[in-house]
Amino acid sequence: MSQQSSAALKEMDRQHLFHPFTTLKTFDSTGPALTIVSGSGSTLTDSNGDTYLDAMAGLWCVNIGYSRPEMAEALAKQANTLSYYHAFSGMGTDLPARLAARLSDMAPVPVSRVFFGNSGSDANDTQAKLVWYYNNVRGLPNKKKIISRQRGYHGVTVLSAGLTGLTNLHEGFDLPLPMIRHVRPPHRLWEAEPGMTDAEFVAVLANELEALILAEGPDTVAAFIAEPMQAAGGVIIPPAGYFEAIQAVLDKYDVLLIADEVVCGFGRLGVDFGTTAFGMKPDLITVAKGITSAYVPLSACLVTPKVWDVVMAGQDMYGGFGHGYTYSAHPLAAAAAMTNLDIIENEKLTERAATVGAHMHRRLQEEFAGHPNVAEIRGQGLVGAVEFVRSTSPMTAFDPSMGFAAKVTKRSLAHGIVTRALPAADTISFSPPFTTTEDEIDAMVAGTRRALDDVVKDEG
Ligand code: PLP
């Protein structure tokens, strides 16, 4: 693209596109940081012809890499055969049925039915509605509250934004809705007392959850929602025994568990699901992102027999199930998911996420361990994170208004690397495509380390 048309495109964007999660006033004067025009494997190319290694697979989602011909062919074939048909009123199409069966087979818990949506956010709204319906059918109309965790990320719709435990999604939007509560996340660095063992920390968090349920009244608490590994909130890996302890509390008070597998599902942690990685026993599972590697939007709610049997019983009380989207069970999305899952299986990409991930963790340690502004290097599978602080002794955070991690990601771009600064944590994350080579990982990590050096130098 010529420089002139690249500039014209950026100006069109600046004037017309309402960007999500963007500082609008700054954007209004600067326009887009990058205009990406093509992608291949782990490499993105912008409108100026500059290339970048994408250490974030978009938003933790392009797991099989960009622009794979098999995906283009599968989508073209489906568009040429049946571009759309809906699933309302018992109507069906072939690929969504096959995909639902496949997801039920591979799910980490027994699944009775799969409900398709278009995004992680709308799927979590569907989960909340299922939870409320479940308790209405059971004659427990007051049992409706949903407990989430601070720094949890569950989406942005009216309900799911409240589940998300990040205040910038609430302020100015009259959220969260009144039935939502939050507890502390299992983030040792800031939430555990110095010297606490994992077991002590887990016991404290489980006791806090129990105290909250008792204070609210167990007859009012319906569900607990959790990402196996909290991704956007800081790449927070639960300490050993965490979900077992939480599960014991949930079981005691008849509270459902929703596992939000939107990031972890389909191999990101080097195993099929985070649920298995961390010993969760969910009643409902949300998936999105990695189900199609984001080639087209698709999400799904996996419904276990415990919930499904009650939903079925509710049909006699409420009549037909009054929920669904025009695009629920979209055949194009199902075609993308089937081919994406084939690629993951045939190329053993989940196993690859584990081995390339191990290499990435080694390289992160080599480049960042011992740095005076690095508090923690963490992650699992093909997810990594580096958390920055003003000082490690005593542990002192940077003033959040300084946006230290955001400065590192901005400088990383100058070194040809796309990373992400996570909200509510001075943390940068790495979550590259599963197909990323070890050489590319080396370049991503080394480029980001150079960016950190630049920022430290700039800040004096
Ligand atoms: N749940 C988790 C764990 C996520 O990370 C996200 C998005 O990043 C969502 C839900 C929301 O998904 P979407 O942006 O597709 O609505």
127-150 tens-digit pLDDT = 999 999 999 999 999 999 999 999
What's residue 424's pLDDT? 83
**Alpha-carbon span 162 to 102, nearest angstrom:** 32
What's residue 387's pLDDT? 98
Residue 73 has pLDDT above 80, yes or no: yes
Q: Are 393 and 381 in contact (CB under 8 A)?
A: no
What's residue 61's pLDDT? 98
The two structure tokens encoding residue 400:
């959040």
What's residue 5's pLDDT? 87
Alpha carbon of 108 to ligand 1 centroid (Å):
20
Average pLDDT over residues 433-446: 98
Average pLDDT over residues 164-185: 97
What are the tens digits of pLDDT across the range 279-322? Answer: 999 999 999 999 999 999 999 999 999 999 999 999 999 999 99
Amino acid occupying residue 248: A
Amino acid occupying residue 275: T
| Atom from ligand 1 closest to the CA of residue 118 | 15
What are the tens digits of pLDDT across the range 378-412? Answer: 999 999 999 999 999 999 999 999 999 999 999 99
What are the tens digits of pLDDT across the range 14-71? Answer: 999 999 999 999 999 999 989 999 999 999 999 999 999 999 999 999 999 999 999 9
What are the tens digits of pLDDT across the range 363-373? Answer: 999 999 999 99
How far CA 187 is from CA of 113, 229, 230, 238, 306, in Å, comes to 34, 11, 9, 7, 31
Best residue among 146, 153, 258 to mutate for probing ligand 1's pocket (most ligand atoms within 8 Å of CB) is 153
Q: Residue 162 — very low, low, confident or very high, per pLDDT cuts 50/70/90?
A: very high
Q: Is the ipTM of this complex over 0.85?
A: yes
Alpha carbon of 286 to ligand 1 centroid (Å):
10
Q: Looking at residue 190, what DSSP letter applies?
A: H
How far CA 81 is from CA of 74, 76, 331, 335, 343, in Å, comes to 11, 9, 10, 11, 22
What are the tens digits of pLDDT across the range 322-332? Answer: 999 999 999 99
| Atom from ligand 1 closest to the CA of residue 297 | 15
| Atom from ligand 1 closest to the CA of residue 155 | 11
Look at residues 114, 138, 115 and name the one whose alpha carbon lies nearest to residue 314.
138
Q: Residue 3 — very low, low, confident or very high, per pLDDT cuts 50/70/90?
A: confident
* Angle (nearest 5°) at CA 193 between 190 and 199: 105
The mean predicted confidence, pLDDT, of the chain is: 97
Q: Residue 423 — very low, low, confident or very high, per pLDDT cuts 50/70/90?
A: confident
What's residue 1's pLDDT? 79
Residue 265 has pLDDT above 90, yes or no: yes
How far CA 457 is from CA of 357, 387, 426, in Å, comes to 30, 18, 18
Instruction: Give the predicted TM-score (pTM) of the model.
Output: 0.98
Alpha carbon of 290 to ligand 1 centroid (Å):
11
Residue 460 has pLDDT above 80, yes or no: no
Best residue among 125, 154, 299 to mutate for probing ligand 1's pocket (most ligand atoms within 8 Å of CB) is 154
